Structure 1
Amino acid sequence: MTFSLRALALLCFITTSQFLFSQNPNQTGSWYMYFYKHQFQNSQFGIQGDVQYRNWNIIGDLEQLLLRSGVTYQPKEADVLFTLGYAHVTSGALGDSNDTSAESRIYQEALLPQKVGGRFYLTHRFRYEQRFVEDQDFRTRYRYNLFLNIPFTAKTISPKVFYAALYNELFVNGQTDIGDGREVELFDRNRTYLGVGYVLNESIRFQLGWMNQKTANNGKAQFQVSMHHKF
């Protein structure tokens, strides 16, 4: 079995188990997301990023506002995209409190796309983050995301086509000591996503889905709506 097929089998197993064993199925929040990407003309450089607005509930109780953008580099003879970027994160408290905390984050990323069996679109994303979290010591984090998109009505993800969208992302902390005698686990969290996408045209596609996030102490379901924009 090739690495790609093993990765596909692993994704399917994790996705199924996460869906069946969500820890808190009644605690559902929402994420509204906009992703953008642009490749400069006649250049190996571009930009990409995202805006994410997350709620503890469907709307109104801020969980997190994330603004992220980076410069991309596409080597001429390699099917990989590198990114160097920055993110600013504002996190809110659950419930009636209006308290927030801030984080600045620098990240490096490698994105490796694959097509398996003529129909399965796999993407491996490796991300390394340097985190400056309010009232904590400097921290780092490692992330690996395996994406899988499968078109329903055609063999390619092209305009007017619906597709299944799945992913599983693992987060691992680089340190356990975060200052003032406080510690976190090496395992930070795991996210599993099940969704349906629609390609409007060559530039825009939409996704609607459900994501389950597990940390060392709890789990939470998230309803997600996203727009993906190439310009």
Structure 2
Amino acid sequence: MLPFPSRLLSSSCLLLPSLLLPIAARAQTNAIPDPKTGTWHVATVVLPGGPKHWGGYAEVQTRSNSLFRQYFYTELKGGVSYDVAKNFTLMLAGGRYSTADYRDLSAGPLNVEKRLWQQLTLTQFAARLKLEHRYRMEERWYRFRDNVVPTGFSRYRTRMRYRFNTFLPLNQPTFTDKTVFLSVYDEVFFNPRGPYFERNRLYAGLGYQFDKHWTMQAGWLNQANYTPASYRQNVFTPQTTLAKNNVVLSVIYRLGRPATTSASPEYVPSQPD
């Protein structure tokens, strides 16, 4: 009988058909185009799990409404991880998320979100191609400006997320020094209070791993938010989709561990976001 991590990893592959949901949902909704392209800047420090399996990360992120201007959003977050096995990691993390009006930043944030999440990550090393399955459960607390809660919102919400990420080193068989690689992922967001299918993120990027410490990526990300259909005052409003393209620039610094007699493990350049 397979050990528990292997059985869990095999079972996780059954969720791959869920990646088809965003495509079907888009085809059945009214797309609301946004001609602007936003920008995401992500800087992360990662402590990989060492001989005692404990690790963690810290991250700062900013986003803009337009290309390299109209910044309105910041994230500060971090967490502690534990490597149950080579391809099986648990994490407990949290963060602060602040959203403002880019036209009046001096007025302070429109809302501040505090978030806590529990996460399970499964990694498959299939020859040259690396596959990652990430499952996350979030608890979210909101504080709004002037303590006024907008219609349709609440001060506490939960959310579930699943991300399927693929990595392909181009000039090396594994991820090592001076490795050029491709990264593609799709992430779906589910809200138990509705809209149940809340969001989809599709990402494609090109990266470069300089050495065991530094990795950089530049990519394109499409984030689609879904508003459920409604029937109010004898008026039916169909489900709508608000999608936005973003340029993502990220840098990851991986802290070193004391040298051991065993060979260094291979790490995939996954973005913790």
The answer to whether TM tops 0.5 is yes
SS, match of residue 218 in structure 1? strand
Q: What residue in structure 1 maps to residue 178 of structure 2?
A: 160
- 2:190 partner amino acid: V
Deviation at 1:111, TM superposition (A): 1.1
- 1:227 partner amino acid: V
Between the two proteins, the alignment pairs up a number of residues equal to 216
CA pair 123-41 structure 1, distance change in 2 beyond 3 A: closer
Q: Structure 1 residue 88 and structure 2 residue 96: aligned?
A: yes
CA offsets, 1:86-123, max 9 Å, x none?
11000123x5233521000011111111122x111111
CA pair 120-56 structure 1, distance change in 2 beyond 3 A: same
The sequence identity of aligned pairs, in percent, is 25
Q: Structure 1 residue 106 and structure 2 residue 116: aligned?
A: yes
Q: What residue in structure 2 maps to residue 179 of structure 1?
A: none
Deviation at 1:39, TM superposition (A): 3.6
CA offsets, 1:39-83, max 9 Å, x none?
4654221211321111111233223101110111112x4621111
CA offsets, 1:104-146, max 9 Å, x none?
0011111111122x11111111111000022333110000011
For normalisation by structure 1, the TM-score amounts to: 0.83
Unaligned runs of 5+ in 1: 177-184
CA pair 142-8 structure 1, distance change in 2 beyond 3 A: closer
Q: Work out which of the residue numbers 190, 204, 219 in structure 2 matches 1:194.
A: 204
CA pair 12-143 structure 1, distance change in 2 beyond 3 A: closer
- 1:154 partner amino acid: Q
CA pair 160-7 structure 1, distance change in 2 beyond 3 A: farther
Higher-Rg structure is 2
For normalisation by structure 2, the TM-score amounts to: 0.71
- 2:247 partner amino acid: F
Unaligned runs of 5+ in 2: 1-9, 144-148, 227-240, 256-273
CA pair 163-10 structure 1, distance change in 2 beyond 3 A: farther
